[in-house]
């Protein structure tokens, strides 16, 4: 009886600790993001900043979603994996037919409902995590058979194409990365990984060669990428083409020094020299106003959140839980990597939100739902300890 009581108390303490730690991380990152958005919009001069107020509302409603999904059994959600998949496809298709086009960027990514809008591509990431996790769990014994891999490829390719065609290259890449991470963790045979590398390596070399041929001389690149996407690659590779957006982002990061210029004190930020500073370039504002130390604290907190997802995946009681937690961790990692890579000009300029910090309701809600599900997986954790026999 004493051993059972110790085991029950151990489980309760571990899950409670993880739960409150994740809430603290999410709240800390979100509050910091709201503060930086306030700096971008000069909220100290105009207290009625619409963007900051909207992000505050987004955070509160997102936290509500986090609590809801942390209480719903993830195995119950997994039962509806086909419904989730077709809902994902339906939402992405509805963007094509009913989406709101943003004139400034000439993209169609949002569904508008009066003064309210959502971006289905943001939810597509967690939808695919849930669907693939359950699909692979159901077909784990045949995962390394060619028919199963072909079906998986088709099921992944359809939403990726629909997201990419908006166009949203960054979101489609996140879906691809998350999908292949889950498949790898599920036990994809090494021969398929070798075959993929053997195929992608020469394809990547040919892509690089084709890019260097210059505008108007491309063989295949222009058939897969939009002209503005090709030019963004030029911007990254050559100082001759480097875009002022990239220059100003690097100026902002570098000028922050070790400790930064202080909140509301960023020169590049105050001059409104950075387009999409509240979203795609928010890490540059963080670097300018909070410096090297502040930037690395933010990245450190995100890294801890990713580690929590990995730890939950390692000790999940089911393969479904393992795959979901892995997918969510991969999603947060890849989004962070792309965002920081774009700001530091090591990746082509493609817009993507910094998790929990950048402005955006759909991104915040999708992330909150994702972490809520991860915490539900953690609640079902059954610790194996010295008190328990077996494997």
Tokens for 159?
A: 């939403």
Q: What are 162's two structure tokens?
A: 């629909």
Tokens standing for residue 156: 């992944």
**What is the number of other CB atoms lying within 10 angstroms of the CB of residue 124?**
24
245 token code pair: 């957006």
Q: Which positions ≥6 away from 272 have C-beta within 8 Å?
A: none
Q: Are residues 149 and 159 in the same domain?
A: yes
317 forms beta bridges with: none
The full length of the chain comes to 391
User: Residue 140 has what DSSP assignment?
Assistant: G
Same structural domain, 18 and 140? yes
CB count in 10 Å sphere of residue 346: 10
- Answer yes or no: is pLDDT of 290 > 90: yes
- Provide φ and ψ at 203, rounded to 5°: -65, -40
Q: Are residues 137 and 83 in the same domain?
A: yes
Tens digit of each residue's pLDDT (9 = 90 or more) over 77-131: 999 999 999 999 999 998 888 766 665 555 666 777 766 778 888 999 999 999 9
Residue 133: what pLDDT? 96
Q: With contact defined as beta carbons under 8 Å apart, do 142 and 92 qualify?
A: no
Whether 180 and 196 map to the same domain: the answer is no
Q: Does residue 260 belong to any structural domain of this protein? A: yes
115 and 163 inside one domain: yes
Q: Which of 9-18, 171-180, 208-217 shows the lowest mean pLDDT across its residues? A: 9-18
Residue 108 β-bridge partners: 101
Do residue 296 and residue 171 come from a single domain? yes
- Domain limits at 237? 2-188+227-378
User: Which residue in 369, 387, 390, 384 sits closest to 71, CA to CA?
Assistant: 369
Within this chain, do residues 212 and 293 fall inside the same structural domain, yes or no?
no
Paired strand residues for 169: none
At residue 13 the predicted structure's pLDDT band, cuts being 50, 70 and 90, is low
**219 shares its domain with 314:** no
């Amino acid at each position: 009886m004493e051993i059972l009581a110790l085991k029950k108390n151990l489980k309760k303490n571990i899950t409670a600790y993880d739960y409150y730690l994740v809430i603290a991380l999410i709240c800390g990152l979100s509050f910091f993001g709201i503060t930086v958005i306030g700096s971008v919009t000069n909220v100290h001069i105009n207290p009625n900043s619409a963007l900051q107020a909207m992000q505050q509302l987004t955070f509160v409603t997102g936290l509500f979603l986090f609590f809801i999904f942390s209480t719903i059994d993830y195995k119950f959600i997994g039962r509806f994996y086909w419904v989730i998949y077709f809902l994902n496809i339906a939402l992405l298709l509805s963007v094509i037919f009913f989406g709101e086009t943003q004139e400034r960027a000439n993209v169609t990514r949002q569904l508008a409902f009066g003064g309210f809008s959502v971006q289905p591509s943001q939810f597509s990431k967690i939808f695919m995590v849930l669907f693939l996790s359950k699909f692979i769990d159901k077909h784990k014994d045949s995962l390394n058979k060619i028919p199963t891999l072909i079906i998986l490829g088709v099921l992944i390719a359809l939403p990726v194409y629909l997201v990419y065609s908006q166009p949203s290259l960054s979101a489609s890449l996140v879906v691809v990365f998350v999908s292949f991470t889950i498949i790898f963790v599920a036990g994809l045979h090494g021969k398929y990984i070798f075959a993929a590398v053997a195929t992608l390596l020469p394809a990547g070399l040919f892509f690089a060669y084709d890019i260097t041929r210059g505008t108007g001389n491309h063989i295949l690149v222009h058939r897969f990428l939009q002209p503005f996407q090709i030019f963004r690659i030029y911007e990254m590779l050559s100082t001759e083409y480097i875009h002022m957006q990239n220059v100003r982002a690097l100026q902002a990061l570098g000028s922050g020094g070790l400790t930064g210029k202080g909140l509301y004190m960023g020169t590049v930020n105050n001059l409104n020299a950075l387009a999409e500073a509240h979203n795609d370039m928010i890490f540059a504002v963080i670097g300018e106003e909070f410096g090297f130390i502040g930037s690395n604290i933010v990245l450190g907190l995100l890294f801890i959140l990713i580690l929590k997802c990995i730890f939950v995946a390692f000790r999940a009681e089911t393969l479904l839980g393992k795959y979901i937690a892995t997918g969510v961790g991969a999603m947060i990692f890849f989004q962070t990597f792309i965002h920081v890579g774009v700001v530091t000009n090591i990746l082509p300029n493609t817009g993507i939100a910094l998790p929990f910090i950048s402005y955006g309701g759909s991104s915040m809600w999708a992330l909150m739902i994702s972490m809520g599900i991860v915490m539900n997986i953690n609640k079902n954790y059954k610790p194996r300890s010295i008190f328990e026999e077996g494997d």
